[in-house]
């Protein structure tokens, strides 16, 4: 993106809009700084805004009736959340929070509901993203029962790497444990395996990807299918 382009166009969906629809949609957006842990929407609560990130990573978290938590999916500048807002939903079944701080733009739900029929390409892009996100969620479920923790961690770090600038990911062991739905000792062991292969460097509150290609080879088929779907329906991240 050139320095002269609007910050909104750091979001992939907004950047793909034709100029007339971009101007229309932009009128309903307001900028917002998003700190780590910022709650975009609580589970089983009304949706107030749809968020379009320009930087950072958000997590979509499933919470059981007894309080168990695990990440169902993640999103960054390639999409928006909560996705149910794009199909007329008013209540979020998931909690959505920021796992890596960033910046974005939000649109009130009423404004989004009005903007969709007025901007058909915008509506189509959101629908396409919802499909790719459903693919990601279903693949996460598959990985959780099919692959080892170290392979799942490699996949998760690759997904984070797709959504940040550079090779550093600001994240803690405790947060990874929550996101993968495993105990912290399992995360520590998996990190040691990846470090031993010189794929990453893990430091306090930060992980650096050292060998992207090697990480993809290690993750194997755990990574890549939802990303292919995104490229097919929308384009590059």
For 205, list phi and psi in degrees, rounded to 5.
75, 15
Averaged pLDDT of the chain: 95
Closest CA to 7 of 26, 21, 24: 26
pLDDT tens-digit series, residues 121-174: 999 999 999 999 999 999 999 999 999 999 999 999 999 999 999 999 999 888
Residue whose token pair is 């395996």? 193
Half-sphere exposure at residue 225, Cβ-oriented, CA atoms within 13 angstroms: 14
And the tokens for 13? Answer: 């969906």
Is pLDDT of 12 > 60? Answer: yes
Nearest Cα to 143, choosing from 160, 157, 156, 129? Answer: 156
Give the pLDDT confidence score for residue 181 in this predicted structure.
Answer: 86
How is domain 148-233 classified at the architecture level of CATH?
Orthogonal Bundle (1.10)
Class of domain 7-143: mainly beta
* pLDDT score of 4: 59
Q: Which residue has the tokens 């996949």?
A: 155
- Give the model's pLDDT for residue 186: 94
| pLDDT of 3 above 60 | no
- Tens of pLDDT, residue by residue over 23-73, are 999 999 999 999 999 999 999 999 999 999 999 999 999 999 998 888 999
Band of pLDDT at residue 112, cut at 50, 70 and 90: very high
- Extents of the domains making up the chain: 7-143, 148-233
Other Cβ atoms within 10 Å of 23 Cβ, number: 12
Residue 208 has pLDDT above 60, yes or no: yes
CA distances, 8 to each of 14, 78, 117, 162, 230 (Å): 7, 12, 21, 19, 20
Q: Is the pLDDT of residue 175 over 90?
A: no
DSSP assignment of 66-78 = T--EEEEEEE-TT
Label residue 108 by pLDDT band (50, 70, 90): very high
């Amino acid at each position: 993106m050139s320095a002269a382009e609007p910050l909104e166009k750091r979001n992939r969906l907004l950047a793909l809009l034709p100029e007339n629809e971009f101007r229309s949609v932009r009128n309903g957006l307001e900028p917002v700084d998003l700190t780590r842990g910022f709650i975009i929407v609580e589970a089983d609560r009304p949706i107030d805004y749809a968020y379009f990130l320009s930087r950072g990573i958000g997590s979509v978290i499933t919470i059981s009736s007894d309080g168990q938590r695990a990440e169902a999916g993640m999103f960054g500048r390639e999409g928006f959340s909560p996705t149910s807002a794009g199909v007329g939903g008013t209540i979020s079944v998931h909690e959505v929070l920021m796992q890596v701080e960033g910046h974005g733009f939000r649109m009130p739900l009423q404004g989004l509901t009005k903007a969709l029929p007025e901007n058909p390409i915008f509506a189509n892009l959101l629908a396409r993203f919802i499909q790719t996100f459903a693919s990601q969620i279903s693949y996460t479920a598959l990985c959780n029962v099919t692959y080892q923790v170290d392979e799942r961690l490699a996949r998760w770090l690759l997904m984070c790497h797709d959504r940040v600038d550079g090779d550093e990911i600001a994240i803690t062991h405790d947060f990874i444990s929550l996101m993968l739905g495993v105990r912290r000792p399992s995360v520590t062991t998996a990190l040691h395996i990846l470090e031993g292969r010189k794929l990453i460097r893990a430091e306090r509150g930060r992980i650096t990807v050292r060998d992207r290609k090697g990480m993809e080879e290690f993750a194997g088929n755990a990574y890549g299918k939802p990303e292919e779907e995104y490229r097919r329906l929308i384009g590059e991240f």
